[in-house]
Amino acid sequence: MIAVIGSRSMRAQELSPLGSDLASDIQALKPGQFIWTPEIAPSGPVLAVISLAVQRCYVYRNGVLIGVTTVSTGRPGRETPTGVFTVLQKQVRHKSNLYDSAPMPYMERLTWSGVAMHAGNLPGYPTSHGCIHMPMTFAKLLYGMTTRGMTVVITDLDEVPRLAPTPDLLQGEAATKAEDAGGAIWEPQKAVSGPVSLILSGADKRLVVLRNGVLIGSTPVSVSGPVVETTAYSLSKVDEQGFHWMQLPLPGQSWAGSRELPLTERARVKMPDAFRSALDEILTPGATLVVTADSLLASGTGKSVTVIEAGP
């Protein structure tokens, strides 16, 4: 059965992406209410998408919508930043380091500057200092299925976020090392375990690799044809046919069923053979790939709304 905190309930099979009834039920959720149907996708990589405009968090597993909750995000002057984040730290019982040791149950940190998802007050409008408040039960359920390194997308209105990571991701020491190594770096020892995230910039013609939120690799790539929008994928399985990347719906993107990245699309991207071999060795189901037309350079042009933090 589907779990809705409040007076509403519906059958689990009615929870399917893009259904008109589902859209109405999501819109009708009152503060503190949520929908939770993990049985629809029992396993696979998890992605959370938070909409500041409608104060909702959407949770996908293996590309399938399994939960939606009301949230309360940053109030005026303390707005929650938009962008693509990774979960940097998790703690069941946590107290704020910034706001009088305020309790933050089931805390999942998104930035080292104080933004996190956790259980909190839900008055029906943005009221936090920048964190994403969720119902206690939902925060506990989400906490139980997530891992450090999980991707979290925070967006305003229906815009798909653009990428502008922390300044040192492709500059400074990282850029110098890349130049010295002929354009590529590979330092897996910096993070020996944890979820792997890949970010490919069409503007920079570069792929960066993060493990547990730490930059461990970067390489120039050639891309045949234009990159016109931001897309996200999760690696669903690896078999004799190779790597199977399933596209994950971001705000403003929708389709029925599953959508796998075809081999023709993968073939558009070329990188050094040695780098690809090393990367293939660490890729396991649950890895996330984000493809963007935007620059990863902090000095790049365009609207900078995404923050990727690799460490304190």
Hey, which residues are catalytic here? 118, 131
**Selection from 40, 31, 53 nearest residue 10 by Cα:** 40
Spatial distance between the Cα atoms of 74 and 168, rounded to a whole number of angstroms: 27
**What is the edge-to-edge ordering of all strands in the sheet holding 46-51?**
3-4, 34-36, 64-70, 56-61, 46-51, 151-155, 83-86
Buried-state track 145-175, b at ≥16 Cβ within 10 A, e below 16: ebebbbbbbbbbeeebbbbbbbeebbeeebe
Helix (H) or strand (E) run with residue 205 in it: none
Q: In Å, how far are 231, 234, 258, 265, 309 from 261, measured between CA atoms?
A: 11, 10, 10, 7, 27
* Interatomic CA distance for residues 267 and 224, integer angstroms: 8
Q: Positive or negative CA dihedral for 289, 291, 297, 298? A: negative
Torsion over CA: 131, 133, 134, 136 (sign): positive
Burial of 293 (0-12, 13-18, 19+ CB in 10 A): middle
| Cβ-contact 5, 107 below 8 angstroms | no
Helices (H), 181-272: 263-266
| Nearest residue to 302 (alpha-carbon basis) of 311, 312, 294, 290 | 294
